[in-house]
Chains A and B, each alone.
Chain A
Amino acid sequence: MPMIDIDWLKDHVEVPEGLTYEQLAKDLVRVGLEEEEIHQSQVTGPIVVGYVVDATPEPQKNGKTINWCHVDVGDEYNDVDENGNKVPRGIVCGAPNMAAGEKVVVTLPGAVLPGDFRIEPRKTYGHISDGMCASERELGLGDSHNGIILLREYGFSKEEYEALKPGDDAMELLHMNNPVLEINITPDRGYAFSYRGVAREYHHSTGAKYIDPVIGLNEKAPAEPKGIDGQTEHDMDVLIEDNNPIHGVVGCDRYYGRIVRGFNPAAPTPNWMRRRLIRAGMRSISLAVDVTNYVMLDLGQPLHAYDLNKIEGPVVVRRANEGEELTTLDEKNHKLSPEDLLITDSPNGEHGSRILGLAGVMGGLYGEVTSETTDLFIEAAHFDQVSIARSARRHKTPSEASRRFERGVDTQLQPAAVEKAVELLTRYGAGEGSRTPVDVNNTKRPADIRFKVSEVARVAGLDTDTNTISDILTDIGCNVGGGGNGEFSVAPPTWRPDLTEPCDLVEEVARLVGYDEIPVTVPAVPVTGVTGLTLEQQRQRWIANTLAQYGLVETLSYPFVGDADYKAFAIDAEAIKPVSVEIANPLAGDRPFLRRSLLPTLARTVQRNIRRGLMDVSLYEIGHVFLWDPEAPAIPALPGGVKPTDEQLAALDAGLPEQPQHVAAILTGKAENSGWLGETRDVDWSDAVEAVMRVSDRLGAKLQLKQPAAEDVPATWHPGRFAEVVLPDGTKVGTVGEFHPHVNEALGFPEHSAAFELNLSALLPALNDKPVQARPISTFPPVRQDLAFTVPAEVTAQQLSDAIRAAAGDSLESIELFDVFTGDQVGEGAKSLAFAVTFRSPDKTLESSDSEAIRKAIVEKAAELGAQLRA
């Protein structure tokens, strides 16, 4: 994002003396240009100008030749000899370009350079070097490390150079001591990618006097000459031949070009420009390239400079053909798409046959300005935002140019930008600009916006008067007409393609009046439909609280899973991947899938806790899982701003994977805290079952367990300690049990670690929404009986208690399993289940004959399961 240098900003707007970067950031954020960072200087002094008094070459054993130099760094910093006289400092310099008589940049002891490089006197090559002559790279000013900075080559005018005195502050001279403000530009404000735009915004914020530089430049810039017979004499034939416009928009609606001849390719970039470019985060390359970059940063128009003698007209702006390729300046090769817009030329009369660049994104290797170029052709064009955005995205080559074009560039800026570039190339590189530019201009004025003044009050809640609204819109560059009937006709400025709707103008008015001026009113909400949380929302909270109260700790995990998780859970990866959502650009390449169960990601959280030395870790999580349907229909691409048809809306949802919400828990370690109270038992399947039953009871869900045969138990689970959780109607809503010993081992969990998972999206909607219908409370006395049965081993407790319940009828108050055992007493293949049963009649005291009859009914019913009452 752009760097803002106050020194440069001053070119376009009056800035108060002593403006700090902190204050500038505050001023800009008020109108919506947000501070990213104030970059502080990486360098501390003293760093001064030095004059090399003498330089004695001393060849070394290692083959290098160093110079033992004496450098005058001014009275304040020079050495003092025995007699108290100031004398130049002795400095060792290995740079090949060191020579007596040069003015150089000297970093003195106490200075700190980027990378915390501290300058101190040091003994080297047999001398005490009392400072260092610095290169650009050492000062963080650029890449050059071919030698030290020779200020003679640094773009100063003759007078400026002569005025440089030893001891002058080089940090100030090279602007190394200044911070710079980096700002964020929102995508609607393409014009703020320039000093021209930022200066205007500074004016909007502070009222400081602003002059749009483009107005004067456009007046100076030559127009394409019009011949008497309609024939034109211009610098280059340019043809726009777009056979594949995107959304019907021709890719290039303006191409302005102008020749500069007699340019001196060896001319240096002036110091002030180099300094500004470096502070903007760009490298200084050559005067011609620097000028195009400078004008882009200053005015916002990307320019491209070609070597005139390498290109042959006509220049043709066209789409790529299938199969064409281009190697861009960064030496990357791109296979071009028929949607890519190209700048081409026509060697040997072959029309548009040679590709010069990917329009608005990056130039190609051919046709570039080089160190021999004396005649330049400078291109300033206006391209379709969408076309440029797609090319930059397709070829993954975002550039300074594409960033500006895809946000929208001023359609009336091109002659001014080229004029500015020609001025700079003429002044510093002795070139001469032609007065016969080519200008293919098909741009249209932005459409007028019919703007009801009342919109400001209706949307922003601001009571702004009509004149103020008109003034604000005029100040941002609009032409404001009408207004008599409370409606303006507003022509937005050409640099604000984002202004198309009345609401855009409301924002402009509101932000310039100030959001702080908007009153504060809490809206009164009309009572419609169901108020408060829905029952499902409340029930989800109950579940979360119930599990926390049961002693589990709630956590959240990322939903991403991969092969390692499948392996640990003994899940067949090849079977689960085709039914899992896969992320195209995952953060971690080894976990590109979304979970179908909470347990694998919850398990990773448990593992993390165990690795951190925590014990008895029992966690739960509520979150979504994602079920990919390979057969799901494709999701259509639909335009925004239009309500889709019911069929289209259905198609959107039909293509989405199911994403039920689950709750899951993993229990490890001790079931209760141990300590001085004594050892307690380890967690096992029963703790997980109890958790499920607590949830069930809390919800009134009457959940039941259905235990499948061992061979039907999924490999994740203990084959004999696993059950499906089902609704009373048999619908499966979850699983519970102990992990298979192999899984516990793979996860590093204690033996018998247990878990459950419930599908809340299936469970909650199945619950009764009706209020509980209360039973009358009987005050007659209860009758308690213990009933112990011997049953075949395969009969479950659930089956037997169901039978007892059925036989006992209405007078059964409660039934509780209080003893289970197997062994010699009951014999092979059988077990004993003992129930404490309580009967109570709603309307009488039960006689012993009554309870005897119930007991008899129970015994008969139980016998159907092969159960026999034990004596």
Chain B
Amino acid sequence: MSDWSQVTRPIPVPNEWTKPFWDAAKRGVLALQRCQACGHFQHPPYATCVNCMAIDLAFEPVRGQGTIYTYTIMYHAGDRRFAPAVPYASIIVELDDAPGALLAGNLMEAPYTEAKVGRRVEVIFEPLNDDITLPQFRLASA
């Protein structure tokens, strides 16, 4: 199991496109940008719908269940502040509710060797400070 207790994560800085995502996460809700014209979910948020070119976009709550789309096991900490946690699993998750929108995370509460493409995961929330809460993932409870 990777030891995250000594890791100080970089704090996300919301901007005009991404603020609703972080506001929702603070409430323990996963919300993704969705095109109100064609229904396409996209992540990271963008200025326009990259599926249909519409500009009418809104954040909508999604359920936090999905699968590991892919992952990497980090042995060499490019960011030295992650050195206490190596080796650790950085994963990319595709949510059931938002196919094609890929979210980064870490595989929490399990050995890094449990990361496999296709494995079921669910969202959990990790508060970083009073303002920012980070969506994270753990293996889905059966």
> Is this pair of chains taken from one and the same complex?
no
